[in-house]
Amino acid sequence: MSAPRNRQPFDIGRAAYLAVNGLMLFFLLVPIAIVLVFALNPTPYISFPPVGVSLRWFQKFFAGADFMNALTLSLWVAACVLVLSVLIGGACALALARGHLPGRAFLTAFFMSPLMLPAILTGLALFQAYLLAGIGRPVWGLIMAHTLVAVPYVIRTTLAVLHNFDRRIEEAAAVLGAGPVRVFFEVTLPLIRPGVFAGGVFAFIVSFDQFPVSLFLVVPKGETLPVVLFNYMKFDLDGAIAAASMVSILLALSVVLVLERLIGLKAYVKL
């Protein structure tokens, strides 16, 4: 496509351009690397440069009842959100793409809107609604709140897959005598599975890292991990937070990898 560039021995403009971009990558990645350094540094307060390597902060994190309760709650909520948003969002995307609905563009924009509005306002509005309904702040209320902001991700990834695949595959199955139910379960569903599960991965991470939506919806002693970390950081800034951060980064990463291994690859193999 592009014509070969005339190469000069040293190009100061090009060098500056690359230097700026190198700095930018440094800026993006160094903070995450620094968290790892502080998670392993044994000094009681955050101090630099690190003096050694120890696992005492990981020990403190895994031995702390508050941290562990929060981690368990966060994982439980994120797992529920994953299942709910895959079912609700996947179905919704199918209806949007295949339902011949009037006002499709408007409906799609409507189901995407939780992504566009400030998450802290979604949390505030739900807090007000639960308050008015007099139901307190139950865990299922938190799960539904997270589901609401996770569903758009599933809709988006599923719609992307639905747009890309050939409708004639479904039509061919129908012509060959498969009923609509059989076409759906044996053709459509396997085809959209990668998109749905990619959305599920996003849903899990969105819920597990969720702060603004949770802020007003958690009760004392029943807080999710990001809220517990936030409250801890207001008073203490030690390696326990870094260890907790590393654990949550690794957990998010392993969920992505496990889902990719278990379902993503299999779905692609079946294609």
Partner 1 sequence: MAVATRPSPIAWLLAPAALVFVLFFVLPFGVMAVMSVYSSNPVTNPNAILTTRYYERFALDTAGIFHDALWATLRIGFITTVVSLLIGYPLAHWMARMQSRLGHALVLMAVIAPMLTGIVVRTFAWMTILQDKGVINTLLIDWGVISKPLPLMYNEFGTVVALVHIYVPFMVLTLTGVIGRIDERLEQAARNLGAGRLRAFVEVTLPLSLPGILAGSLLVFALSISAYVTPSLMGGTDVLTLPMLIAQQVGTSFNPNFAAALGVILLAVSLVIVVAYNRILARLSGEQGLA
Stretch that binds partner 1, among 55-63, 65-73, 113-121, 260-268 (CB under 8 A): 113-121
- For position 1 contacting partner 1 by CB under 8 A, the verdict is yes
Interface pick for partner 1 out of 56, 79, 209, 260 (rule CB under 8 A): 209
Asked if residue 101 binds partner 1 (CB under 8 A), the reply is yes
| Residues of span 29-58 touching partner 1 by CB under 8 A | 29, 31-32, 34-35, 38, 45-49
The contact mask relative to partner 1 for 60-79 (x = CB under 8 A, - = no) is: --------------------
Least distance to partner 1 from the beta carbon of 107, Å?
A: 8
Q: Could you tell me the smallest distance in angstroms from the CB atom of residue 111 to partner 1?
A: 6
CB 198 within 8 A of CB 158: no
Give Cα separations from 86 to 79, 154, 156 (angstroms): 11, 6, 11
Report the candidate in 175, 194, 172 with the shortest Cα–Cα distance to residue 260: 194
Q: Which two tokens stand for residue 87?
A: 């079912």
**Position 108, amino acid:** T
Q: What is Dmax (Cα atoms) for the chain? A: 73
Question: Of 55-63, 190-198, 203-211, 262-270, which part binds partner 1 (CB under 8 A)?
Answer: 203-211
Query: 3-class DSSP state for residue 222?
Result: strand
Using rule CB under 8 A, residue 20 touches partner 1: yes
Residue 94 lies near partner 1 (rule: CB under 8 A): yes
The smaller minimum CB distance to partner 1, of residues 167 and 261, is found at 167
User: Where does this chain touch partner 1 (CB under 8 A) — which range of 60-68, 190-198, 228-236, 258-266?
Assistant: 228-236
81 in Cβ contact with 207 (< 8 Å): yes
Q: 63 or 101: whose CB is closer to partner 1?
A: 101
Long-range interactions of 222-229: CB distance < 8 A, separation 24+:
222/73, 222/137, 222/139, 223/70, 223/73, 224/70, 224/73, 224/74, 224/77, 224/142, 225/67, 225/70, 225/71, 225/73, 225/74, 226/74, 227/70, 228/66, 228/67, 228/70
Q: Is 151 near partner 1 (CB under 8 A)?
A: yes
